[in-house]
């Protein structure tokens, strides 16, 4: 079977696929046209929960994207207060996932989870800047392994307009590796990364990125922030 027809499914998705399949069977029993709609939705559900393998660059110092999707405007912002990282603004790289993107999230840089914090909130469109402040979120504070000077990074899963469930599989004190899967958000959402001070992003707003593969920053580089334009 071609690999694009046999993508692995995230374990969180099987119950939803089973539910959609059951509803599809009922719809076919009621009326064939309704069953066809249900079948299409079941296929979409399986597609949504796909969990493809990724080739992660393993050179130390690289920060990779935690999510598939579109890079939103890059701004300086204070990390979530619940992470207790102070009031200094840090460069925030936000990745918006639409309903057709892979929603499995990955660790951006090797280190250790020193704090995990959940905060309930609203469910406005995750592409809006205010979503970082007001929406339901789960935030991680990572102590990074790179360099002699201690560095930290904030990673925030944010629910969106349709999303109603944030899944995070890592706990405080756990060591994590670049590109490692750590959670999923259902359905449509965003992930924010607050880079360590002095680090410039290597992606631009409007760029599409892949979780675990696209390098969004390099702690060993002095390259300035990259501008981007549509061509």
Closest CA to 202 of 179, 224, 231, 220: 224
Task: Given the residues 65, 94, 127, 189, select the one marked as catalytic.
Answer: 189
Inter-CA distances, 50 with 44, 46, 99, 162, 184, Å: 10, 6, 12, 18, 11
Q: How many CA atoms lie within 13 A of 98 on its CB side?
A: 6
pLDDT in tens, 155-213: 999 887 665 678 888 999 899 999 999 998 876 688 999 999 989 999 999 999 999 99
List pLDDT tens digits, range 71-86.
999 999 999 999 999 8
- Contact (CB, 8 A) for 185 and 178: no
pTM: 0.85
Q: Where in the chain is the domain with CATH 2.70.70?
A: 62-218
Q: 132 catalytic, yes or no?
A: no
Map residue 157 onto helix, strand or coil. strand
- What's the pLDDT tens digit per position in 20-66? 888 888 888 888 888 888 888 888 778 778 888 999 998 888 999 99
Position 19 confidence tier, pLDDT thresholds 50, 70, 90:
confident
Residues 64 and 201: their CA atoms lie apart, in Å, by 10
**Whose CA is closest to 190, among 214, 169, 166, 206?**
166
Among 227, 199, 216, 215, residue whose Cα is nearest residue 94:
216
Token pair 């102590």 in the structure block, residue = 143
3-class DSSP state for residue 150?
Answer: coil
What is the CATH architecture assignment of 62-218?
Distorted Sandwich (2.70)
């Amino acid at each position: 079977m071609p690999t694009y027809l046999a993508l692995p499914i995230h374990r969180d998705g099987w119950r939803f696929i089973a539910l959609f399949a059951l509803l599809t069977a009922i719809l076919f029993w009621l009326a064939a046209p309704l069953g066809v709609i249900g079948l299409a939705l079941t296929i979409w559900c399986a597609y949504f929960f796909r969990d493809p393998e990724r080739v992660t660059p393993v050179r130390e110092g690289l920060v990779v994207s935690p999510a598939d999707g579109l890079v939103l405007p890059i701004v300086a912002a204070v990390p979530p207060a619940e992470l207790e990282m102070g009031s200094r603004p840090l460069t925030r790289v936000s990745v918006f996932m639409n309903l057709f993107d892979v929603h499995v999230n990955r660790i951006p840089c090797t280190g250790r989870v020193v704090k995990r914090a959940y905060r309930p909130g609203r469910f406005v469109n995750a592409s809006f800047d205010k979503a970082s402040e007001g929406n339901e979120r789960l935030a991680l504070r990572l102590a990074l392994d790179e360099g002699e000077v201690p560095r930290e990074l904030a990673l925030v899963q944010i629910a969106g307009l349709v999303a109603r469930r944030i899944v995070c599989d890592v706990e405080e004190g756990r060591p994590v590796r670049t590109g490692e899967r750590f959670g999923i958000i259902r359905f449509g959402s965003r992930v924010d990364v607050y880079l360590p001070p002095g680090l410039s992003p290597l992606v631009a707003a409007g760029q599409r990125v892949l979780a675990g593969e696209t390098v969004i920053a390099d702690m060993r580089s002095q390259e300035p922030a990259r501008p981007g334009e549509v061509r």
